[in-house]
Structure formats: structure tokens, C-alpha cells
A and B are shown apart, each in its own frame.
Chain A
Amino acid sequence: MHPVLKLVVQRIALGLVLLLIISVVIFLGVEALPGDTAQAILGQSATPQALENLRAEMGLDQPALTRYFHWLGGILTGDLGTALTNKADIAKSIGSKLGNTLFLAGSAAVIAVPLAILLGTIAARYAGRWPDKLISAITLTTISLPEFVAAYFVIFFLTQVFPIFQPVSLVLPGMGFWEKLHAIALPVIVLVMVVLAHMMRMTRAAILNVMQSAYIETAELKGLTPMQVVWRHAFPNAIAPVVSVVMLNLAYLVVGVVVVEVVFSYNALGKYLVDHVTKRDLPVVQAVGLIFAAVYIFLNMAADIIGILSNPRLRHPK
């Protein structure tokens, strides 16, 4: 087997094992909470008889191991259980919200990643000079603002001062692609502001690190322009560290943007999770937790694999 293929398969297998371990941790975490689902449904004043009946009905009287495998088996067949609060099928409710989450995260990423890499490259090219300082100052300012503050700034400027967008990101089924995009423009702007600096700084640092190499001097002595040197010779060797930070930020865009969702009343996974945490709807919390963990693991695994593929020593062994 080609060594790269072997490494990639290894990473994927490790990711799956990790996901399994996390499913155990999530299950145990919810187990450890005082009270159980039956208690949560019937409330503090329920009679012991009523609790027992409900437990038997829901299978809660089974040992934990049985319930874990039952839960896991359900997930593997696409059955995430039913929500306690509204008896809705969790898989169905998550489906549309996950779509909204990915749409928002994807739109922000499509703008933020290329922009961060471009700005990072420019900053590295002019390291220590004014373009570098300007780029760093602006991106560090935007990352330093709490998301909700940034959100209100954006709302104020782009709905009040210049009324271009709606302050509420209402996405409804049946809206066209551009219509949807227009609706989520404000949260996208806020998210880009939040994730830009981290990726930009990493791109800058990784390229500057590579710029110390002897082969960069070779490129300079070939009479290439500084931008050619950076793009052709430095950037290809800086991919792995940049990708790992990009993936961390993408993961954040999927799982960590609940504040932005709430500010813009955007109906997505984060808001769904928080709503159900407050209602102690444990099956939903479990399901969403597992999805978030899967996203994190998948993206970091992708970063690892891209890092492996970008290494010519691994791609082309002796």
C-alpha cells in the first residue's frame, strides 16, 4: 500500500475511534446528571408509580449499557430519538437546522478563508512595514470585539445608517439562493470579522517561517519578484500549518456561533441546542452534541490529511 494511503486510512480509523469514545463521554455525561428523562417529563411532583410506568415505557429501566447500544444503534440507522418537549423526531428537526448552519458557515468560510490567506500573504510580503501593520491592526481589532458588539455595530451601520440589509436573518423554505444570501449577509459579515485575524496571523507566521529557508534566497537570486517568491516558493511549503488553523476556524463557524444566531434570530443548530438545554431536553442535547463532535473531528482529520498530502516527502517516497 502506498504510504500516504496508509497514513490517510490510519487517520480516518483514528477519527472513527475518537468519535466512538466521544459518544460514550456524551452518554455518560447525560447519565451523570441528577434525575432522568422520565423525571424531567413528569416533573418534581410525579408519583413513584407514574415514574416507574414511564420508565418501563421508555426503556429507561434497562441497564445503562443496553441503553447506550440502543442509542448508538439508533444513531447509526439515522434515528436520533424524539424530543421530550414537543415529541418531534429529532433527526427531522436537526435536518433543516443543520442545513442553515452549514449554509451560514459555508458562506462565511468562502469569504473569510481566501481573504485571510491573501491578507496574510500580503502582510508577510511587507513584514514590519505599513501594509503589515495596517492589516494586523484591523484584523486584531475585529477579533477583539465580542461577537454581539460587532453584530450590533454591523446592524446599526447596514440597516440604520445605510439601510441595505434586514436586521433579522429570516430564511424560509422556498426562498431562492440569492434571496437567502441577502438575508444572511449581516451574520456572514460578523463571522468573517471574527475568524479573519486568526487565519491571517497564522498564514503570515507560516510564510515568514518559510521565508527563512535557503531556497527562498535561491528564488530571490533567480531574479523573481517578491510576490512570485512568496506565492511560488513560500506558500506551497506553508500549507500544512495554515490548513490546520483554517479547519479550526471552520469548526468554530459550525459549532460556536450561537451568539450570532441569537442576535440575528437565525434559525440554526446552535440556537436549537441552547433552546433545548434550557428545557432540559436531554435526547436533543445528546444528538446535537454528537453532531458537533463529529464536525470537529471531521474537520481536524481533513486538516491532518491535507497536511499529509501537501508533504512531497510523503507523497513521493524515495
Chain B
Amino acid sequence: MADDTLLAMKGLVIEATSYPPGEPPKNVTLVHGVDLTLKRGKVLGLIGESGAGKSTIGLSAMSFGRGGVRLTGGTIHLNGREIRLADAKALRSLRGREVTYVSQSAIASFNPAKQIMEQVIETSLSHGLMQKPEAEARARALFRKLGLPNPDTIGSRYPHQVSGGQLQRCMTAMALCPKPDLVIFDEPTTALDVTTQIDVLAAIKEAIRDTQVAALYITHDLAVVAQVADEIMVLRHGRMVELGETGQIITAPREDYTKALVSVRGIEHQEKPPSAPILQVQNVTARYRGTNFDVLKNISVELPPGQTLAVVGESGSGKSTLARAITGLLPPTSGRMVFNGRTLSPNLAGRTKDDLREIQMIYQMADTAMNPRQTVGTIIGRPLEFYFGLKGAERDRRVQDLLDHIEMGKGFADRYPAELSGGQKQRVCIARALAANPKLIICDEVTSALDPLVADGILKLLLNLQAEANVAYLFITHDLATVRAISDKIAVMFKGAVVRYGQKSDVLEPPFDDYTDLLLSSVPEMEVGWLEKVIAHRKMESAGN
């Protein structure tokens, strides 16, 4: 029935102006003629890597272009009206009333200066949909439905006073409050910890079902979208790759690209046997200056040469703090660290040049870890000069050698970081770490900011380099699939303490402690109905206790 159609896009073309460094501005096409239809009350998942155009298409349902993005071609019909060319006034009347938006980062999307309630009911009042008492009552009902604590009073709090997961649910309430026809969810759970994600996901799914609202659900995580979407559209480089029922996409994908997305995380890594450690962390306890609680509590772990110790945990569990302690940036209050047979000085100033050289770091944000005004050659050449005194042609040769190692060919040495893709930037950071010829590299969430396929490439590269150079990795991550792919040993951290530690095969084998069980069972699986199964299982368990 044609009446059922809420949103119909035909031949949508979206363009933007890009400003490449050192060149005149040029027009780039982000979306090349995409067709999309959404019926009332249905959920369509938009999936793809960064740059696929999924957020851009999502926002075009409100006829909105972020930054300099322009909707230049095709038609967008919402509730039967063409909106691509609608004037500002018409757009204002549909935005926040017919279509609402839930962003990836509720923390950034809430105004820090205003109470939550005021923001949640703002559209209902400004569009004249409800009176204030009615809107507030609806908001409170939504808070309750979304499982927020203290639903009657949480509205009077300020955004910084609630947690990230709670604020994400508040934003969902904000989107649902004016009773829209369509909600755009733009990676609503991506920034959350895995154990928080599952609750928010369940809350969003229930709210969608109860309010009968239609939704565009945008994410790069196929396992997540499989839990909420009726249909999934796979996008790449601004074109549609495949469209199908959720079950068909994840069990029987037709296109090669979809198959690659479904089977990503397929890296098998054979665990190496235990051997004498190169790094020993012994009973390390640490706290930040001016605070009165320990951020690391009596940590003891060991890492043999040429192996990988994965440190897993949620944000705030102390993973990165452990790295800061090992590198000497945060001297422990007690305990000691032994590296390659010698005791490391607790603080950076007491370390020898060899101590510094043999322990290198790679960071999550390759972007901010490089000087944007230096070329790749200078960036990689710096440790060569600093540690080995290499200069001139000799240094250039070694730089090219390292670039070959990270599978980047000739010509990259003269480029600037801004001219590289996300994956390439991370490769340059790896080369810079390797340049020091280290025995240990601390990798802090090095794949978290990357698309799954690119992250896969980085992991494979790291494993190859480990086999070649016999370098050990302390691999900090919150992603359990990455842990499986790369580790020999695992330490699970929770609130500053190691709650589970050992060989990979032992740690990932039941029986589990409560926290590890929660963590492992929260990782979305590519299976329709997984979410309901886990939630039901947890309810049963808590009823049993």
C-alpha cells in the first residue's frame, strides 16, 4: 500500500566541497543516487564504513546537510511532501516534530548549561504540540520506559550529572517526546561500553516497538543493527551495495562486500605457550596526584618476549593508567616493574635512554599523535636520529625500509598526515614505534577509531611484525573480538584491579567470574534475536538469585 510509505528517497545525490591541503577546493560527491523507502513503524538499518554516506543519508531525511554538505539531486518525500527543496520555514516545522535525531554522543549533543527536562520537552513546546505539564508527564513516562533511574527527578539534573549511558537514553527520550513519525538513530550506542550498550540497545528497541515509530538506524556494527532492524541497507562509498531483510543479510549475504563485513573478525591467532617474561609488573598500586583513591590496585602481570598481553576492560577501569605507569608517566605509589631483567625507575626522569627506546607506544588517535606540520619521513626519522644518530641518506633509507614493512610503498615519506587515510595514519604511528627497535610496544586502543575492515588490516600487520621482530605487545582494548584475534595472555580489569588473568585459552573458558561473564555475554553476536535471548537469560539469573 502506497499509504504506508513514510519516507521515500529517489536518486538522492549529496555533494560537499573539500579543501585538500595545498590544492584549490573541489567538489566531492558523497552520495551517488541512492533510493530508499521506509514504511511507517519499520526500522531500516543503514550500515557501512566511515565515508559510506550513512549519516549523510540519515540527516537528509530531515533535509539537513552537516557543515557544507548539500543535497543536490533526486527527491526526498516525507509524509508525501517533497522536502529536499522545501524552504527554511517548512523545514523548521518538520524538524523536531515529524523527524527527530539521536546522535552518537549524547554528552556533546546536550546543552551543558540547561537542565535535561528543559531540553527534552523543548520541541514539544516550541512546535506547540503540548502544554508544559503534559510534555513533562510524557517525558517522565519515557524516562521510565527507557529504564532510567529516578525517572521523576532525573529531568531536573544537568547533563554532566548523569552517566553516558543514561544520557544516551535521555536523548532517545528527547527524540520520542514530540511523538515523531521517524527517528534517526546515528550510532547511538557506539560510544558506550559494551555492558552499557546492551541496556541502551534493549531500551531503544523496546521504545521503538511501544511507540510504533519508524526509524533509520545508522551504525558500522552489523551485529548491533541485526538486533533492531527489520531491513538492512549496506552502503559503500555513497552507493547502495545490498538491501535485504535482516536475517538474509547476516546469514546469506549476496554481495562480496557484505560477506566481508559479516565475516570480519575472522582472524585466528594461535596462542603461544608461556615462557620467561620480559616485562614483570609486580603489585603495582598508583593514584593521581591530589586524589585519595587508587586508580591501580595491586596489579601483577607478566608478558613474555614476542607475545601479546591483552588488557581488557571498560572505560575507567584503569587500562590506560596501567600503560602510564609502565611508561613512567605515572609513578606507582608501591610495587615495582622489571623489564628485561632490570628494575625500571618508577618515574620517567630516572629512566635510561635504552629504557625509553625499548618501550614504545602507539595511541588510539593517530591524528593527534602526529605533528600535522611534519612529513611522514620526518615523523618516522625522528626516533632514528634520536636513538641511533642516523642522518641524511642513511636515515632516508631506513625510513623507506620501515615504510615497506608497514606495507606502504614509495612516495609516502614526503606526505603530510592530513593526506593519509585513518588506517595509513595508524600504520605510520606503528612505523615510528618500530623505528626505535623496541622490545615492547604498548598499543592503547589502536584499532578502536578505525573501520572494521581497516582495523583487521592493522591487526594482521601487527601480528606479522611480531613474528618478524619478536616484539611484545601490551594491547589495551575494550573490544573482545580484537582480544581473541591477537592475544596470547589476557588480563581483565575492573575498577582498577585485575579480576581475571592468564593464558587466553584459560581466561576465555568457563567457569567465569561475574564480571568477565557480564563482559563476554554483552558482546553483540551476529544473530537475530540475540538481544532478547541475553536479556531474558539475565532476568532469569537475577530472579534465581
Contacts and interface: CB of A to CB of B under 8 A. Distances in A.
Given A214-B105, A221-B96, A223-B91, A237 B64 contact: no
Q: Is the contact region of chain A dominated by helix, strand, or loop, or is it mixed?
A: helix
A220 B110 CA distance: 12
Interface in B88-118: 91-97, 100-101, 103, 105, 108-114
Contact of A312 (B94, B103, B112, B126): B112
B374 interface: no
Nearest to A213: B108
Interface in B49-101: 62, 64, 66, 91-97, 100-101
A55 interface: no
Contacts of B91: 223
A233 B122 CA distance: 11
A312 B66 contact: no
B315 interface: no
Contacts of B94: 223
A218 B101 contact: yes
A149 interface: no
Contact of B158 (A220, A232, A312): A312
Given A221-B95, A223-B123, A312-B160, A237 B109 contact: no
Contacts of B415: none
B161 interface: yes
Contact of B161 (A214, A223, A232, A316): A316
Interface residues of A, number: 22
Contacts of B160: 312-313, 316, 318
A125 to B, nearest CB: 13
Contacts of A318: 160-161
A236 B114 contact: yes
Given A223-B95, A312-B158, A318-B161, A236 B111 contact: yes
A222 B113 contact: no
B158 A316 contact: yes
B97 A223 contact: yes
A128 to B, nearest CB: 13
Contacts of A228: 126
A89 interface: no
Contacts of A221: 62, 64, 95-96, 100-101
A214 B108 contact: yes
Contacts of B161: 316, 318
B276 to A, nearest CB: 46
Contacts of A217: 66, 103, 109
Contacts of A219: 111
A213 B93 CA distance: 23
A215 B103 CA distance: 10
Interface in B111-150: 111-114, 122-123, 126-127
A181 to B, nearest CB: 36
Interface string B221-243: 00000000000000000000000
A224 B94 CA distance: 11
A225 interface: yes
Interface string B151-164: 00000011011000
A312 B161 CA distance: 10
Given A223-B127, A225-B92, 18 more contacts: A215-B111, A215-B112, A217-B66, A218-B110, A220-B64, A220-B95, A221-B62, A221-B64, A223-B92, A223-B93, A223-B94, A223-B123, A224-B96, A224-B126, A236-B111, A313-B158, A313-B160, A316-B161
6 contacts: A221-B101, A222-B100, A223-B126, A224-B96, A312-B158, A316-B161
CB-CB nearest 10 A-B residue pairs: A223-B95, A222-B96, A214-B108, A223-B96, A236-B113, A223-B92, A215-B111, A218-B109, A221-B101, A222-B123
